[in-house]
Amino acid sequence: MKAAVISFPGSNCDQDLAWAFQEIAGIDTDIVSASETTLAGYDIVGVPGGFSYGDYLRSGAIASFSPIMPALKAHAENGGLVIGICNGFQILCEAGLLPGALQWNKSLSFICAPEELAVVNTDTPFSNAYEPEQTITLPIAHGEGNYYADPDTLAKLEANQQVVFRYRDNPNGSLNDIAGLTNAAGNVLGMMPHPERAVEALLGGTDGLGVFESLKQEVLANAAR
Amino acid sequence: MQRVELDPQAIKEQKPYLDWGLTEEEYDRFTSKLGRLPNYTEIGLASGMWSEHCAYKYSKPVLKTFWTKNDRVLMGPGEGAGVIDIGEGKAVVFKAESHNHPSAVEPYEGAATGVGGIIRDIFSIGAEPIALLDSLSFGELDDPHVRHLVDEVVAGIGGYGNSIGIPTVGGETNFDPTYARNPLVNAMCVGVMNKDQIQRGRAAGVGNAIIYVGAKTGRDGINGASFASSEFADDKQADRAAVQVGDPFMEKLLTDACLEVTRQHRDALVGMQDMGAAGLISSSVEMADKAGAGMALDLDLIPQREPGMIPFEIMLSESQERMLLCVRAGSEQEIIDVFTKYGLDAVVCGHVIDELRYKLYHKGDLVCDVPVSLLASDAPIYHQQGEKPARLEHPVAPAMPEITDVQSTWLAMLGQSTIADKSSLYRRYDAQVKTNTVVLPGSDAGVVRIRGTHKALAMTTDSNGRYLYLNPQRGGAMVVAEAARNLVASGAEPIGITDCLNYGDPTQPTHFYELAESAKGITSACKQLNTPVISGNVSLYNETNGAAIHPTPMIGMVGLIDDLATVTTSGFKNAGDVIFLVGETGDDFNGTELQKMLQGQIAGELFPLDLRAEKANQDAVLGAIRSGLVSAAHDLSIGGFAVALTEMALQGNLGADVTLNLTNAQLFAETQGRFLLTVPADKAAEFSAQVGALAQEIGRVTSGDQLHVQTASDAFAIDLTAARATYEEAIPCHMK
């Protein structure tokens, strides 16, 4: 089982996500530069948080044109697992791998705080280790996490049960309290909260472990099929 | 603005240097040492390098008195940052820097570039930056201009730190009218490195290359060091052009590239220094001076953002995100390749030369040719005489504060801006990126683990201008003691400090007295607490329209935790835990928040500080924590016992039942050397045996939402729901 974490210039959670995959989940993990053009051989691809290319212009906008992006799109189209966290979520939306967009928080301020989330869909490769409607606490740390999609798109993704995590107490104005959602096929997840920051009791919580456990189980189950 | 390069004779007659902060005497001194009239470039460089910010010409005699060495210190003041041995082959590197003047004029960029600058100081030593802290002082929040400053400064700190990906783990925010037009914005950065890889800012070895890396040079921040070494006045236009603009993305790339060079290309690298205050001139001439070498630079090779810049502008620009490297001849391409990989400019712009001159070439002309030392170690030093300000005679003793309604005083105290909850400010900083933050902002100190070890570092910033206003020497010692208490309460042994010395115009004997006296106090506390000064900076001329701020040294202190299991936080943990008060409480009100709140002023002789008792109490608390006897610890500081007890309760969502032999007023006294601790009931006897008479049992943690307090005269309850509302809403309400 192998995971890749893409490192864009300006990514700053790449090491943290790789640590969680490698040291906590025990998955063989490489950090892959966004200037590379292949992701062959990886079961899971992580798109980490940070400020890719300074997030100048618009969060994730420049990163979505990186040399690695065609390989990432091919990986996703072939059913490979992709998890984008924070800036990674923004990049996946900009690249069209996920519907909708992330706007400035309604407070217009960056927010770093623990947030309670409801796991509203446990039938995904990213959340199967959680109990249905389980409440978990994960840290958020973003300025642009206010999820928006047009009414048709929103209705479609709700009908299709693409929403995985919802805020219990919406911190940023996201429509339908959306904190994390998948694509229609269910193999690409984007989420604003940071599960990789909640994998060690020493650092204040382990509620993020379920995301990594879920991914591990999914890859093992796929291998057994 | 187009600068006209006057010729040497015109400079002598028209004296443009007066506007750049040089005096006529200094011009004459420079001219006589040079042996001829200086040209426009040369006298411009002198104005930057002889500013207080670069030369420390007034503060150096004071700074020399600091205690800077013990057996742990690997590198003291004089380089980008100081270094302390923390065992297992590792070292901690830290420094703080002030950005008060830029933040007063352009608060977002002023604060952001303050953060950027201090980060460069840390990685210039070869250390990976692991944490940021800040210390902010503003006027009162009922002033709309102050609210604007607070909002923009906080946004600037977050904007830079969040983007570059270094967690902001601690800090402080104080409010007092003294800072209304002259806010203090001090930033601190902490890094960790292998102790055998310390890098210094040296340009040695004739023929070795000088390489410029990072952002291009523009016309921003020109002569900012001189700007920071003068006062504000309403009749001077706010000098926006003297404030730099930051690019954290560029700095992230620069950090990664420079650390790759210091770790993987050590043989090629001779020295490296940040281009901070006075930009290219200070970094290059200091590197040459420290190595006892000469240097020649070709300014046509310097990457420039705009055409037509003259040497004065290129050399004194404070454009951000730039570093200067000295690289062994023959290894230039190896180093340039590293920076190219990160998409950064890196160009050979000069060489170390075999005469002790500093030479600049521009469009084929020699535009500067001066002795290296004249711009660096031979800058003037002034031995100013201090004069005790009349206010320190304390002719009138203020009345003792009278508490008529202890409950309403208690609640009102929680709503004072300096005391109230700051989470609405610090939640705008990413405190967890890098996933090493063990204790988040809100406790006594930020705690960050060191990967690959069982150790952690605790860190804090502290200042208290009011104490120093009443007694600079004792107040200076108190700030150090308070910082140490914060670390001890977190389970750490204090190991060293950095400082930002924020004062008024040092040419005023009364202000110089404050600086010199407070240095004495800082030194006495540092020696008693075994915390040498390893780095720091000065920010003088903090004045507006002739009125100086309270003398406000900021102490940034770092402590070592050998075993992560002993990290302690301030929130109550379990109902039934026994509460102990460590230290005696006196009628100590002059300079306190209570005095300010009830009497509207700060006055009287400052209460005493017993450094030996302070150290004994700190040792006892640290010993008990390390023995695993303590479940929560909090130091008593501003607002005294009442505030500390409430904070412990609110953080732990638990109540308390306490009985004290104190007067109602003493609940708010700010007597030094005190802690509140909780101890699990089954360990209380062992705790008492170990700590003895220093600690006094005063009650229990309860599961209720009330604090029940019995003083010498009254029994009363504080409703924690009401307390929380006051404490948490005060700042957000003001900021609306």
Nearest CA in chain A to B430: A112
* Mean pLDDT, residues B613-629 taken together: 98
From residue A224, alpha-carbon distances to A123, A186, B368 in Å are 18, 19, 75
**Residues forming beta bridges with residue B678, ordered by sequence position:** B579, B632
Residue B374 CB neighbour total at 10 angstroms:
24
Say if residue A130's pLDDT is above 80. Answer: yes
Q: Which of B135, B391, B136, B123 is nearest to B255 (CA)?
A: B123
Q: Is B145 a catalytic residue?
A: no
User: Taking the CA of residue B203 as centre, how many other CA atoms within 13 Å lie in the half-sphere pointing to its CB?
Assistant: 31
Q: Is B351 a catalytic residue?
A: no
* Structural domain harbouring B710: 568-736
**Residues forming beta bridges with residue B441, ordered by sequence position:** B443
pLDDT in tens, A187-212: 999 999 999 999 999 998 999 999 99
A19/B contact by beta carbon, under 8 A: yes
> Global pTM?
0.95
pLDDT in tens, B67-122: 999 999 999 998 889 999 999 999 999 999 999 999 999 999 999 999 999 999 99
Say if residue B160's pLDDT is above 90. Answer: yes
Q: What is the pLDDT of residue B394?
A: 80
pLDDT in tens, B592-620: 999 999 999 999 999 999 999 999 999 99
Nearest CA in chain A to B434: A16
* Record: contact B433-A9, CB cut-off 8 A: no
* Record: contact B430-A54, CB cut-off 8 A: no
CB-count burial class (<10 Å; 0-12, 13-18, 19+) for B408: exposed
- Count of A–B CB contacts within 8 Å? 79
State both tokens at B122.
């840390």
Q: Would you say residue B592 lies in a domain?
A: yes
Q: How far apart are CA A136 and CA A115, in angstroms?
A: 8
Catalytic residue, candidates A75, A142, A144, A194: A194
Structural domains of chain A in order of their starting residue, each with its CATH number: 2-224 (3.40.50.880)
* Record: contact A111-B165, CB cut-off 8 A: no
3-state secondary structure B441-505: ECECCEEEECCCCCCEEEEEEECCHHHHHHCHHHHHHHHHHHHHHHHHHCCCEEEEEEEEEECCC
**Predicted ipTM of the assembly:** 0.96
pLDDT in tens, B533-592: 999 999 999 998 889 999 999 999 999 999 999 999 999 999 999 999 999 999 999 999
Q: Which of B136, B118, B139 is nearest to B127 (CA)?
A: B118
Contact status, residue B532 vs residue B68, Cβ threshold 8 Å: yes
A53/B contact by beta carbon, under 8 A: yes
* Record: contact A51-B165, CB cut-off 8 A: yes
Residues 108-137 (A) with a CB less than 8 A from some CB of B: 109-113
Q: What is the pLDDT of residue B402?
A: 87
Q: How far apart are CA A167 and CA A174, in angstroms?
A: 9
Q: What is the pLDDT of residue B226?
A: 67
Which positions in chain B touch A56 (Cβ < 8 Å)? Answer: 249
Q: Would you say residue B423 lies in a domain?
A: no
Q: How far apart are CA A132 and CA A136, in angstroms?
A: 11
State both tokens at B86.
């923390």
CA distance B117 to chain A (A): 18
Q: What is the pLDDT of residue B2?
A: 63
B433/A contact by beta carbon, under 8 A: yes
CA distance A184 to chain B (A): 31
b/e for A67-102, b at 16 or more Cβ within 10 A?
ebbebbbebbeeebbbbbbbbbbbbbbbbebbbbbb
The owner of tokens 């992709």 is A82
Helix (H) or strand (E) holding A110: none
* Record: contact A12-B249, CB cut-off 8 A: no
Catalytic residue, candidates B53, B511, B550, B734: B53
Nearest CA in chain B to A12: B165
Q: How far apart are CA B154 and CA A111, in angstroms?
A: 12
| Nearest neighbour of B429 by CB, restricted to A9, A112, A197 | A112
Instruction: Kindly report the average pLDDT of chain B as a whole number.
Output: 94
Catalytic residue, candidates A94, A144, A196, A218: A196
> Coil, strand, or helix at residue B399?
coil
Contact status, residue B315 vs residue B277, Cβ threshold 8 Å: no
CA distance B186 to chain A (A): 21
State both tokens at B191.
């890094």
**Percent residues over pLDDT 90 in chain B:** 91
Give B554's DSSP letter: E
Most B CBs within 10 Å, among A112, A137, A206, to test the B interface: A112
* Mean pLDDT, residues B642-654 taken together: 98
CB-count burial class (<10 Å; 0-12, 13-18, 19+) for B528: middle
Q: What is the pLDDT of residue A225?
A: 78
Which positions in chain B touch A196 (Cβ < 8 Å)? Answer: 435
CB-count burial class (<10 Å; 0-12, 13-18, 19+) for B145: exposed
Q: How far apart are CA B483 and CA B637, in angstroms?
A: 10
Instruction: Kindly report the average pLDDT of chain A as a whole number.
Output: 97
Q: What is the pLDDT of residue B53?
A: 85
Catalytic residue, candidates A13, A75, A86, A94: A86
State both tokens at B461.
């910033």
Q: What is the pLDDT of residue B545?
A: 85
Q: Would you say residue B147 lies in a domain?
A: no
Q: Would you say residue B602 lies in a domain?
A: yes
* Record: contact B435-A19, CB cut-off 8 A: yes
Contact status, residue B565 vs residue B643, Cβ threshold 8 Å: no
Residues 511-570 (B) with a CB less than 8 A from some CB of A: 564
Q: What is the pLDDT of residue B78?
A: 86
Contact status, residue B437 vs residue B167, Cβ threshold 8 Å: yes
Which positions in chain B touch A192 (Cβ < 8 Å)? Answer: none
CA distance A198 to chain B (A): 9
Confidence of residue B232 (pLDDT cuts 50, 70, 90): low
Contact status, residue A14 vs residue A5, Cβ threshold 8 Å: yes
CB-count burial class (<10 Å; 0-12, 13-18, 19+) for B423: middle
Nearest CA in chain B to A87: B163
Q: What is the pLDDT of residue B546?
A: 86
A93 Cβ neighbours under 8 A, 6+ residues apart? A60, A99, A100, A101, A102, A190
B13 Cβ neighbours under 8 A, 6+ residues apart? none
Q: Would you say residue B1 lies in a domain?
A: no
Q: What is the pLDDT of residue B52?
A: 86
* Record: contact A141-B433, CB cut-off 8 A: yes
Q: What is the pLDDT of residue B585?
A: 97
CA angle B227–B231–B237, rounded 5-degree value: 70
Q: Which of B79, B119, B113, B122 is nearest to B320 (CA)?
A: B113
Q: How far apart are CA A15 and CA A23, in angstroms?
A: 11
* Mean pLDDT, residues A114-122 taken together: 98
Torsion of CA B228, B229, B232, B237, to 10 degrees: -70
CATH number at residue B660: 3.90.650.10
3-state secondary structure A9-25: CCECCHHHHHHHHHHHC
Q: How far apart are CA B593 and CA B605, in angstroms?
A: 15
State both tokens at A4.
């890749």
pLDDT in tens, B38-63: 999 999 999 999 988 888 999 999 99
Nearest CA in chain B to A15: B434
Residues 140-169 (A) with a CB less than 8 A from some CB of B: 141, 143
Which positions in chain B touch A200 (Cβ < 8 Å)? Answer: 435
pLDDT in tens, B313-372: 999 998 999 999 999 999 999 999 999 999 999 999 999 999 999 999 999 999 999 999
Residue B378 CB neighbour total at 10 angstroms:
16
The owner of tokens 């009363």 is B716
Q: What is the pLDDT of residue A167?
A: 98
Q: How far apart are CA A113 and CA A198, in angstroms?
A: 12
* Mean pLDDT, residues A88-116 taken together: 97
> Coil, strand, or helix at residue B249?
helix
Q: How far apart are the first and last CA of chain A?
A: 15
Q: Would you say residue B678 lies in a domain?
A: yes
Q: Is A144 a catalytic residue?
A: no
Contact status, residue B635 vs residue B557, Cβ threshold 8 Å: no
Say if residue B19's pLDDT is above 60. Answer: yes
Contact status, residue A187 vs residue A82, Cβ threshold 8 Å: yes
CB-count burial class (<10 Å; 0-12, 13-18, 19+) for A131: exposed
DSSP tally for chain A: helices H, then strands E? 5, 11
Provide the domain count of chain B: 1
CA angle B662–B666–B672, rounded 5-degree value: 110
Q: What is the pLDDT of residue A113?
A: 96
**Percent residues over pLDDT 70 in chain B:** 97
| Nearest neighbour of B449 by CB, restricted to A10, A197, A202 | A202
* Mean pLDDT, residues B409-431 taken together: 97
